[in-house]
Amino acid sequence: METQRRGFARDVVEERAKDFERVIAVGGDGTLNEVLGGLLRVGANAEDRPALGFLPSGTANAAVAAFGFSATPTTVARILPEANVENVDVGVASFGETERPFLLWFGAGYDAVVIDALNSERTGLMGVVGLARGVPRVLRAVHRYASPDIEVHVDGGGVSVAASVILANVGKMAFGGTVADAADPFDGRLDMLTVPRLGSLRFAALFGRMMISSLEGAAGVGHTTVAQRVRLASEGAVPFQLDGEPVGTLPVEVRVLPGAVRLLLT
């Protein structure tokens, strides 16, 4: 079925997926996210839900870097009959009366500002060249961003403060970037990275580090794992994104659903 509007893939999967053994999302990371949202509304656990496959054809295709999906239709068609299936963790963000899942990562603060700036003018496959062209726009957006403090509550424990928070289910992102080498989408946890308030030059340096090595371990960047849930709040306007799509502003609560979906690794 061809999607006809935002939210269409989620709705049709919720309505019809129970009649199928597999659902294959064809599109970008946003389409994959919508299909994931529909699957979570089918059945009580991974075994009750159809397996999820992906044929990437979007602009950034971050899921390719994270899971190694093939983008060649003939290759995917050949592999699917005997594809490896693994139960993958899913993050869920709750805000207001809404819940949205993510397979890759959640970001609040600088991360969401960057995503919004890149999304504002993207057309077609972005690639590294498209990313490079967007750098001036990203730096302007970061410079204008007020970076309010974010209060971070992890697993019901104490409170810490950051200017930006990334909750990673996977280590690899689009364009070859790495958030956290340790992030594992099959370990029942999310890796949380907290970033302090940055100037434009320091932000550019951290962004460059993420592209050539890993954000994890950079000076001033905190790293921990989230076993159950994390709550983020701010007195200012802090945007957040899910799987590369701008969604809303804090407050939000994020939890992890271990092994919630059977993923077809192609």
Shared domain check, 227 and 116? yes
Shared domain check, 129 and 39? no
Query: Residue 148 domain-assigned?
Result: yes
Q: Please, which residues bridge with residue 232 across strands?
A: 152, 252
> What pLDDT shows up at residue 185?
97
Q: 132 falls in which pLDDT band (50, 70, 90)?
A: low
Closest to 224 (Cα-Cα) out of 232, 216, 213, 214:
216
The residue type at 179 = V
Mean pLDDT of the chain: 91
The structural domain count of the chain equals: 2
Structure tokens at 248: 């809303």
The residue type at 245 = E
Count of alpha carbons within 13 Å of 102, Cβ hemisphere only?
27
Shared domain check, 224 and 144? yes
Shared domain check, 122 and 246? yes
The residue type at 13 = V
Helices H / strands E in the chain, number of each: 7, 14
Which 8-state DSSP code applies to residue 16? H
**Domain end residue (candidates: 54, 89, 124):** 89
Q: pTM here?
A: 0.92
Shared domain check, 117 and 196? yes
Name the H helices within 51-195: 62-67, 73-79, 110-119, 127-144
Characterize the bridge pairing of strands 150-154 and 239-242.
unpaired
How big is the chain, counted in residues?
A: 266
Residue 124 sits in a domain whose CATH number is 2.60.200.40
**Domain end residue (candidates: 57, 89, 121):** 89
Query: Residue 13 domain-assigned?
Result: yes
Query: Residue 95 domain-assigned?
Result: no
Shared domain check, 83 and 203? no
> What pLDDT shows up at residue 139?
83
pLDDT tens-place string over residues 146-176:
999 999 999 988 889 999 999 999 999 876 7
> What pLDDT shows up at residue 49?
97
Query: Residue 94 domain-assigned?
Result: no
Q: What percent of the chain has pLDDT over 70?
A: 94
Q: Residue 129: is its pLDDT beyond 90?
A: no
Q: Residue 122: is its pLDDT beyond 70?
A: no
In contact, 190 and 168? CB cutoff 8 Å: yes
Residue 46 sits in a domain whose CATH number is 3.40.50.10330
How far apart are alpha carbons 204 and 115 in whole angstroms? 15
Shared domain check, 177 and 55? no
> What pLDDT shows up at residue 130?
54
> What pLDDT shows up at residue 124?
52
Domain membership of residue 52 as a residue range: 8-89
Structure tokens at 8: 């269409």
Characterize the bridge pairing of strands 239-242 and 51-56.
unpaired
- Phi, psi (5° rounding) for residue 92? -130, 125
Shared domain check, 186 and 208? yes
**Domain end residue (candidates: 69, 89, 109):** 89
- DSSP assignments along 179-190, one per residue: S-TT--TTSS-E
Shared domain check, 212 and 134? yes
In contact, 110 and 195? CB cutoff 8 Å: yes
Query: Residue 25 domain-assigned?
Result: yes
Shared domain check, 218 and 118? yes
Query: Residue 134 domain-assigned?
Result: yes
Q: 211 falls in which pLDDT band (50, 70, 90)?
A: confident
Shared domain check, 63 and 107? no
How far apart are alpha carbons 141 and 231 in whole angstroms? 25
Query: Residue 2 domain-assigned?
Result: no
Query: Residue 68 domain-assigned?
Result: yes
> What pLDDT shows up at residue 20?
96
Residue range 89-116: average pLDDT?
A: 96
Shared domain check, 143 and 237? yes
